[in-house]
Structure 1
Amino acid sequence: MRIVIQRVTQASVVIENKVKGEIGLGLLLLAGFCGDDTEEDLKWMAGKVAQLRIFGDAEGKMNLSVQDVQGDLLVISQFTLYASTKKGNRPSYINAAPPTLAVPLYERFVTLLEATLGKKVQTGEFGADMKVSLLNDGPVTIVIDTKNKE
């Protein structure tokens, strides 16, 4: 599992001219899944996201988590995070999990985040053509891959 985390002051996702998910202060997560992702990977990532200290404290140091600032999450599925550009100019997505595997992983990840944070998590729609808007705060953008957790 691979995610791109962006600290935001606002973010939204629009599908067919309708807002599907919208948050204020919080984190926008772009989440990609591969075929060998496990429940352990999902749990580890949910815990990491909830506890990652990337919000400013009273002294302006990144020392607070999304939980600490009572921020929200917007999670967007993004298979292109597993793009391979080694050969040619057209990316290959062979390492991305197919929808039959990725959809349950995505849904379970959202459920784990909701349980960890104790609140609803906003989402996009798996496989839809989505328009994502955000105001990146900082900017702070971090990539985390479960294959690099040890």
Structure 2
Amino acid sequence: MKKAFYKVAASGEFFICCFEDKLRDLKETLEELPEKFTISSVNKYLLESSFELLIGCQLVSEVTGGVAVSLSPLEVVLFYFALKEGKSRALDCAFEYLQSLDKTLRIGGEEKKAKEISREELKKTFDSLFKGRKAFNLNRLNIVM
């Protein structure tokens, strides 16, 4: 399966199987997540489980009928706090939380202590998660409501 994916990826040809009636219109889709949002109970369970274990997460969508968006461990922490506290408080809450931990996270294939993650590194992840392509996909695939 992995080999087949690489062949398709290398060819430059991509397609997505989805239920069109559930897909948001491109014109209505925001490229930034709102301050406050909700997610389905299934995604909430997946997110909270990943948050507790400090691992990546794959959020699901009715649009694709399965896995739709993958989050890295840092994105999981930020998304969790954005869901609980609002997007504007997520960065500060996530940084405080990580500084209080004596655990490691897998970042870019390497283990890194949570306390060693800088605010700048977290801010960069925050910006890529909440603005741009990933936010667009979270909105368009109806993962955030």
The TM-score, its normalising length taken from structure 2, stands at 0.28
The TM-score, its normalising length taken from structure 1, stands at 0.28
